[in-house]
Amino acid sequence: MTNPFLEGDAAAEPVRVVESIPVQGAPRLSPEAIAKEGIPTPPHLIVGPALGRGGMGHVHPAVDRNLLREVALKRLLTEYASDAFYRDAFIAEAQMTGQLEHPNIVPVHELAIAPNGAPYFTMKLVQGEAFDRWLWRRKPGTIERIEGGIEILLKVCDAVAYAHHRGVVHRDLKPANIMVGDFGQVYLMDWGLAKLIKSAPASGARALMNAPGAVGTPEYMAPEQARGNPADVDERCDVFGLGALLFEVLAGHCPYGRVSDPNEIIERAKTGRVTSIDEACERYGVSRRIRAVAERATHPDPAQRFQTVGELRDAMRAFLHGGLHLPRKSFAAGELIVKEGDKGDCAYMIVAGRCRAFRVVDGKEETLNVMEPGDAFGEMALILFEPRSASVVAVDDVTVLVLDKAHFDEGLGVSGWTGALVRALAQRFADLERMVRSSGLRRG
């Protein structure tokens, strides 16, 4: 079988094509453009125009004519190739990434030096979009953004935890460095600013890794990282970076607020002026439980953060799995969710929006409580099989998880002593409430 895209190149004879899944490939660069820019062109690669351009290197799509797959070729610009500082740092990035063999770290295929002396390496070409684009298409406060964003970050946590196990700190965790594939893949990219903390790199790489000054992206930097002393950088800087990503998933902006001036951002980072997560999420109705996770992960004091990425990952996973598998129901603002006196056969937990609980006393509504994401209601009627003791109305557009009797019995094991104890406590509370109401007292 032949592959039309791979035919007609006289530069070198590729391995004979035996069987091929169609390879779309990118437009080819002309020989003149390749020669002018000094782009490495190994015989087995067909190189296309640059996908991304950095200060010292470019990334090109390419097709491997032997293995019939699309790859990404990253090259150091020719003008930097003769400088040992930049060349060693570039090679260290390729070697470091190549040694981090993990499902959520983009794999490196080969590393070589072109005839013009410029190093290059090839890696998997990820088909998808950067996480910043993924976030831009989803509004803060929505279930899709919160659940989907945390699922993506859990995979990033796995990659970072593995890197830490191998003695590598990323130092540049940000949405643009996370690729979300079209079929559920998540890759943590760009290890060019990573630091080895358990071994000694080559001279050029060592100079870059230990250079004084803020290294990374200010919006996501830990305060100790922004202050610029490399000796203060450890795994907890990446914990902060992951927390900053979670903060942005929940609030729509980074922990240092909506600031456009880079100097102001770096100053806020240096002094640890982290915006209150509660204030940042106030208009979105985000669960207090996950807000607390983001708050701890972005604490200015490293000793007050999660001490490992594993701890942060477990806290996010516990939130994500904390009943989010239950059926959901949505209510518009002003819509009645439960009515006082009705028979109750399910309870609810708020995941988005706010609700108001009230009773009608002498023909007037008496507000009992305003509930936020993470709060539950309707549990007494479910446990005791009694009529609803109050009404609940949606204050905003509300999404709730619905807990019916079957889910309740399964989760709590109510057929045994646990269920008997819970019902006994609920019955005592209900009896006490009836006594208070019959005495003419009202709950505040």
**Distance from C-alpha of 40 to C-alpha of 26, rounded to nearest angstrom:** 16
Please state whether beta strands 346-352 and 398-404 pair in parallel, antiparallel, or not at all (unpaired). Answer: antiparallel
The C-alpha atoms of residue 439 and residue 433 are separated, in whole angstroms, by 10
* Residues ≥6 apart with Cβ < 8 Å to 173: 156, 160, 188, 220, 238, 241, 242, 244, 245
3-class secondary structure for the chain?
A: CCCHHHCCCCCCCCCCCCCCCCCCCCCCCCHHHHHHHCCCCCCCEEECCCCEECCCEEEEEEEECCCCEEEEEEEECHHHHCCHHHHHHHHHHHHHHHHCCCCCECCEEEEEECCCCCEEEEEECCCEEEHHHHHHCCCCCCHHHHHHHHHHHHHHHHHHHHHHHCCEECCCCCHHHEEEECCCCEEECCCCCCEECCCCCCHHHHHHHCCCCCCCCHHHCCHHHHCCCHHHCCHHHHHHHHHHHHHHHHHCCCCCCCCCCHHHHHHHHHHCCCCCHHHHCCCCCCCHHHHHHHHHHCCCCHHHCCCCHHHHHHHHHHHHCCCCCCCEEEECCCCEEECCCCECCEEEEEEECCEEEEEEECCEEEEEEEECCCCEECHHHHHHCCECCCEEEECCCEEEEEEEHHHHHHHHCCCCHHHHHHHHHHHHHHHHHHHHHHCCCCCC
Interatomic CA distance for residues 323 and 144, integer angstroms: 16
On whether the CB atoms of residues 309 and 238 are closer than 8 A, the answer is: yes
Q: Which of these is catalytic: 172, 301, 409, 431?
A: 172
172 has catalytic annotation: yes
Active site residues: 172
